[in-house]
Amino acid sequence: MKPSLPIAATVAALFLASSVPAFARADQLAVTRVAPDKVSVTWSAKGQVDLFQADRPVTDPAQAKLVSAGDRDGKQEVSVDVAARPYFLVRDKADGSVVDVAERLVPLDQGSNFRDIGGYRTVDGKAVRWGRIYRSGASAMLTPGDLARVQALGLADMVDLRSSEERVLAPTKIEGVRYAAVGYSMQEILRMTMQGPSGALYANLPTMLKPQLRMVFDLLKRHEGPIAYNCSAGQDRTGFTTAMVLSALGVPRETILADYHLSTTYRQPRWEMPPIDLAAHPNDPVAQVFSRGAAAGDRKPTPLYDAEGKSLLLGSFASIDAKYGSVEGYLEKEIGVTAADLAALRATYLE
């Protein structure tokens, strides 16, 4: 089995190597949380840059606050509001080019795998806008502080990809956001995954999640505000959904795979399912399985590879390619996303 640690470096390289236009000199941007109220912004540039901070996604420095002028050292620590999500702009003083960046992971005390899919470059050099689309694990154990941070994202819609049983066992704590889900049983998924990494699950996800994908893409097409979607771990069903969204936006497959494997780094399994009272769920095999998992304590996520070392997500792509020829063909035939829709989505969610 392949090790999971290099994946974060891989996705960083994929993002950073193409994170700015060819004419821009500032690159290798990253925002890292170093304390609850402080982040470190890093970049690489041959000359001086100006660093700006905003409380919302912007691309014009005039809409942001100057943090550091004529900076040469490639690093700046910035104090931030713990309940707000900071966004940054780096302007290269040599050519005036501007690049925006934010934290990939939304910092939550009792959340798991809640992250922004912004910043990824497409095959034609554009970038997914920050602060528009979020992917996550379950939100049943969020603290009041976590809920304040999520509220600050300004979410308009949530799509819960979880089964009926999971949503009863671990209802979301997030309120004030339009919520949508599709009822189905977790038992079939458990049958496919009980024996470890399951190519069968991933091969079936394109069929299994068609109703949920229709919801996600309908909301994206309406563009009424930021959207989040989640499953329990934020890796399998959420990973497949993210793969379809990023594919629709024109992000290359290698970048999509690297983002998918970040779940091994960003998951916090102990915060994905609250303690389960089995007496309240008699004869419920799903409750029994999740109860055993919760009893395992702070277990580590399993790297998302099959027995041959191949990314599990490739099973979904292979199933789609074999039946539809391409993700675009699948989205058009099964999800109702036309070529005109793809063009509109890219105009809305890329910069």
Q: What CATH code is carried by the domain that includes residue 167? A: 3.90.190.10
Are 88 and 143 in a shared domain?
A: no
| 68 touches 99 (CB < 8 A) | no
Identity of the highest mean pLDDT range in 2-6, 17-21, 256-260: 256-260
Average pLDDT over residues 108-120: 97
Average pLDDT over residues 78-84: 93
Are 228 and 127 in a shared domain?
A: yes
Return the minimum-mean-pLDDT range out of 67-76, 183-192, 319-328: 183-192
Tens-place pLDDT, residues 285-314: 888 888 876 665 557 898 999 989 999 999
Residue 8 lies in a domain: no
Residue 322 lies in a domain: yes
Residue 180 lies in a domain: yes
Q: Is residue 246 classed as helix, strand or coil in its secondary structure? A: helix
Would you state the torsion angle of the CA atoms of residues 301, 307, 312, 316, taken in this order, to the nearest 10 degrees?
-150
User: d(Cα 91, Cα 52) in Å, to the nearest integer?
Assistant: 8
| Prediction pTM value | 0.90
Q: What CATH code is carried by the domain that includes residue 37? A: 2.60.40.10
Q: Which helix (H) or strand (E) holds 217?
A: helix 210-222
Structural domain count of the chain: 2
